[in-house]
Structure 1
Amino acid sequence: MALHGRKASSASRTRRVTRRVNDSMIGSHVERSPSGRPRHAASAGAERASRVDFSDSRRSRRANRGMVEQVDVAATSGESDSDFARRRSRRGYVEEIQARTRRRKMAFLGAVAALVVVVAAVAGTMAFFAWSDSQLSLGDSNAKEALVAAEDGAASYALLVADLTTGATAPNDTDKAYMAVRIDAASRVLTFVTIPSSVAVELSDGERHALSDAQSVGGDAELLRAAGALLGIEFSHFASTNAEGLSRLVDIVGGVPVELSEEVDDPRAGTRVLAAGAQTLDGAQALTLLRASNYADALETQAKMRALFTVNLAERAASGEGLAFPSVVADGSAFVSTDWTSGQIIAMGDAFSPLTDATVYAAVVPGRTVDGEDGAPATFEVAGDELASMMEAVKSGQSPQAAEADLANVDRSLVTVEVRNGSGIQGAAARCGELLTSDGYEVASVGNVDDGAVYPETLVIYKDEAFEIAAKAIVSDLSAGRVVNGGDFYHFDTNVLVIIGSDWIG
């Protein structure tokens, strides 16, 4: 049987195919012109080269016969040298443009990524402050009705309020704590003035009440106006908390260090006893300190303890590094109600940091506690002239004790005093004279008032302005009285005249 298959290629056919392949492919050879100069096929037209050169003579002979065994990847194109150079130049330019475009895209994507990070950080910060501010807000309080913005760069005043009532102890007369603070960031001076909660003030209903009744009469705005009128200032800020809030704030900052000058042991304040000396108070111990009032000099010592605690609490909160203080503000915002924003609190912390290097003063409104009649609660009667002198020092950024220092410098042995009894209580003038003599004054005479009237308050009268400071010293020493410039209304031969009123208790 005959087998039919593909016809075998002859040698001539193979050479023809090889030549056609050679003509259509880029080989590892370079065609030569008759002049021996290399040229590209595009410029040769249809004319074929008469000779093809290879580095190997055998391969040259085989190539001339139309046999090509290898195609080199480094073969040249069929364009002229000038066209080839221009193409290469254009390709390099295009590649450079493409590279620049890629670099620009990468830079743009990097900038977009950085912007996204910044926007996320800003959004997070805004969310943080918004949340903190919502916690700090005054809520239903009407305090903003009474707040007056301070002038730019000037010191401002804030009223701090704490309700220290706890379920574990019986209510105390001093459970309501009121403290006015003068804030002078430019001079880095803080002045704390404690206001007794039982101080008698006139409220909007026209009646005299204890300051602690103000909120029940007209809310926080009533309290701000009454306390401001008492001190002769206007408040720009308000902050309040309660016993639980204070305890939590103390625990948030890890305790508050204090240096106690005496042991604190007041059953009405709590069951804990605080030893004298340096210690760090937890929340429950802090409440005991703030509520205690059975000191030898109750009001003044309590005021100093509360001011000391407040300053140390602020120092403890602001003493951390980095985000520590903002974190404390955020954690404590749920326990404080205030018109301050978290940003303002943080800025104030930065302005006074470190607080240990700032100047801090503390004082209490001068006066005395007077027992109520017919079972009425005791009230605190303010020594008006002393308070006015003290607040002059406070407003000028000086120590509240500056006025007290002036009184201490009075040479009492050079001051002559006449004492008259206008209280209706027999022997009151003699007792007052004895007290003044023991304080170093020269008491010229004692007796009753000429008009036989009963005076409701004790008057300490001077005529010569040189003895105004002496009259204030007598008020301070007696813990009673109102300084009066007698002018032509009173007649006496001594430097100062004291008329005992029914408010004085010898």
Structure 2
Amino acid sequence: MAFRRKKGFTATRSKLTSRRLRTATVGTHVPRRSRADTNAASVGFSNPRKQRRATRGYVDTILPSTATRESSSQYARRVSRREFADEVRRHARTRRIAVFVACALVALVAAGVAGAAAFFGSLDSRMGLAGSDASSALAAEKEGEPFYALVAADLDEAGSAGAVEGPDALALVRIDEAARAVSVVSIPANLRVVLSDGEAHPVRDAAASGDAALVKAVSDFAGVDIAHFVKTDAAGIMRLVDAAGGVETEISEEVDDPTAGDVYLPAGRQVLGGREALTLLRASNFESGVEQQASNQRAVLGALSLKLLGGGTLDLLSLLDEVGGSFRTDLGAQGALSLAGKLRGMDASAVRGALVPGQELQSGGTSLYAASSDAWSAMMERVEAGEDPAVADEASSVDPASFTITVRNGSAITGGAAQLAGTLEGRGFKVVETGNTDVYAAYDETLVVYNDDAYEAAAQTVVDALGFGRTVAGNGFYTFESDVLVVLGEDWKPTA
């Protein structure tokens, strides 16, 4: 058999073989494209030869589709180095630390939440009205509107002789969070009110039936809903004032009342500690009596409130924690913080107050404070409007000596007309006649009657001076010769 000699490996056969190899090799070639389709002309190369090869469709290197854009050999060389192993260990350690810190933070937050809950729970238990029924008489606040709170204080020290049951000081407080303003109405503890038994009692007696009965009695008297209740005692007041660093108060009249304590307080501005503040709250032997005492009580309450509002949240929390149990309230710790936050920065001039208008009377050895119904209604209108309760209507004030008065006894108490006439004359009024009414039945309340509208303001001046009674337009039903007639009713009690 004859064999032919194989021809030489020409350039043409070399190109053909190269094309076949490229076709059979995965990942090392690109499809043949026409010059019109290729974008090689727009790609820069290091020399013209590589440019021409790219134009004909030759690709020498394709980057691996890895995150680092490395080939297998490059990756193998890199991971074999010591630096790579160290870096891997560093990353692993960093991840472990991050996980640990995250877990620690979660634990701390959980512990903080649990601790805060326990802290507030402890405060609430010490500040709460445990065993009180006050909540049944309290009304819910209305969103964005002012609300009322009743503050009751028992000023008798535990075990003291002659202590009287019930609170010794009461204050109806209107709080306007939006305006950052507070109105304090002092209510005498011996204010004459009619309780559930239908009889007249000092308002403090209502507390014998529970806190709810006291709240209801004050609410009915004032004609407003009460949203919150706060009560404290002598020990609590001293502890709270001392913990707050004392209260700065202006004392207009010196305090030297043996029944209030053994502390003497000169007139003037001074900082009071707990014992001094308690003495000022108790003292009553002033020239103006209950009016000055109520003014002093409002001053201490206002100064203490501003002191509590002057610090930050942490300061208040620390103080509440220190004096927990010094007072009781339905608000709770968080409620107290919320209220303090809304009123923080309130100026002293935004705290205004007044005493319920009226007069202290004696009945059977008991002192009762009788409110002037008309003056009281006018004051509450000012309070509800956010105005100063102490500003009286000047139009109703008339010179007592500028008109004449007739006094007739309708109280069924012998000598009542003469005694009241003496009271009025002692205040500058001109009484021209006294006597009894021609009606056998007694009058339930004292009436101050005027027939001419020109004397309406004069009649109101009499009511304001007495502290009780009601003005009435006579309309010809009452016969009298003077400008004003006073018909004494059963709401008047003779002085001792």
- Residue 229 (structure 1) aligned with residue 216 (structure 2): no
Tell me, yes or no, if the aligned pair for 2:134 and 2:211 is still in contact at 8 Å. yes
Q: 1:349 aligns with which of 337, 340, 344?
A: 340
- Give secondary structure in 2 for the equivalent of 1:371: strand
CA distance in 2, matches of 1:123, 1:265: 51
**1:58-77 equivalent positions in 2, closer than 5 A:** none
- Supply the distance in 1 between the matched residues of 2:268 and 2:166 (Cα, whole angstroms): 24
TM-score for the superposition, normalised by structure 2: 0.75
Identity score, percent: 35
Does residue 232 of structure 2 align to residue 241 of structure 1? yes
Mark the runs of 5 or more structure 2 residues left unpaired by the alignment: 1-69
Deviation at 1:461, TM superposition (A): 2.0
Q: Who is 1:208 aligned against?
A: 200
> CA 1:446–1:118 in structure 2 vs 1: closer, same or farther (change >3 Å)?
same
Answering whether residue 481 of structure 2 is matched by residue 490 of structure 1, we say no
Q: How does 1:112-261 map to 2 (within 5 A)?
A: 112-166=103-157, 167=159, 170-171=162-163, 176-216=168-208, 218-261=209-252
Distance 2:488 2:426 in 1: 13
* RMSD (Å), alpha carbons: 3.3
Deviation, structure 1 residue 483: 1.9
- Further displaced range: 465-474 or 337-346: 465-474
Does the Cα contact within 8 Å between 1:429 and 1:446 map onto a contact in 2? no
The answer as to whether partners of 2:246 and 2:272 remain within 8 angstroms in 1 is yes
Task: Note if contact 2:166-2:204 (Cα within 8 Å) is conserved in structure 1.
Answer: no
Cα distance between partner residues in 2 of 1:428 and 1:252:
50
C-alpha distance after superposition, 1:23-79 (max 9, x if no partner): xxxxxxxxxxxxxxxxxxxxxxxxxxxxxxxxxxxxxxxxxxxxxxxxxxxxxxxxx
Aligned to 1:394: 383
Alpha-carbon distance, 1:172 to partner? 6.6
User: C-alpha deviations, 1:303-325, integer Å up to 9, x for none?
Assistant: 11001101111222332345111
Residue 285 of structure 2: which of 294, 303, 323 is its match? 294
CA offsets 1:235-281 (integer angstroms, 9 cap, x no match): 11111111111111112112222111111001111111111112222
Give the letter aligned to residue 386 of structure 2.
G
Aligned length: 417
TM-score (normalised: structure 1): 0.73
Structure with the greater alpha carbon radius of gyration: 1
C-alpha displacement of 1:420? 3.8
Number of the residue aligned with 2:461: 473
User: Cα distance, 1:469 vs. partner?
Assistant: 4.0
> In 1, are the aligned partners of 2:446 and 2:487 still within 8 Å (CA)?
yes
- Over 3 Å counting, the alpha-carbon distance change for 1:198 and 1:504 in structure 2 is closer
The one-letter amino acid of 2:179's match is S
Q: Would you say the 8 A contact 2:450–2:474 is kept in 1?
A: yes
Task: Answer yes or no: is 1:88 the counterpart of 2:80.
Answer: no
**What's 1:459 paired with?**
447
Q: 1:367 to 1:433 in 2, by over 3 A?
A: closer
Structure 1 residue corresponding to 2:373, chosen from 369, 376, 384: 384
Aligned equivalent of 1:421: 408
Provide the C-alpha distance between the structure 1 equivalents of 2:282 and 2:339, rounded to a whole number of angstroms. 28
Which range is displaced more, 299-308 or 275-284?
275-284
Letter in 1 for 2:177: A
Residues 175 and 291 in structure 1, CA contact (< 8 A), matched pair in contact too: no
Q: CA deviation at 1:234?
A: 1.5
Q: 1:432 to 1:87 in 2, by over 3 A?
A: closer
Give the 3 Å change call, closer, same or farther, for CA 242–420 of structure 1 in structure 2. closer
Q: Secondary structure at the match of 2:262?
A: coil
What code does the residue aligned with 2:346 have?
A: L
Q: CA deviation at 1:468?
A: 4.2
Matched to 2:194, the amino acid is E
Shift of 1:205: 2.4
Equivalent residue, structure 2, for 1:270: 261
Give the equivalent residue in structure 1 for 2:18: none
Distance 1:207 1:82 in 2: 104
1:360 CA drift (Å):
0.8
Instruction: Point out where structure 1 has 5 or more consecutive residues left out of the alignment.
Output: 1-80
Q: What amino acid is aligned across from residue 106 of structure 2 in structure 1?
A: L
- For residue 66 of structure 2, what is the aligned residue in structure 1? none
Cα gap change, 1:209 to 1:357, in 2 (>3 Å): closer
User: In the TM superposition, what are the counterparts of 1:320-331 in structure 2 within 5 Å?
Assistant: 320-321=311-312, 323-331=314-322
Q: Distance between the aligned counterparts of 1:271 and 1:174, measured in 2?
A: 23
CA drift of 1:455 comes to 4.7
Give per-residue Cα distances to partners, 1:187-219, cap 9 Å, x unaligned. 111111111111121222232221121121x21
Conserved 8 A contact 2:309-2:343: no
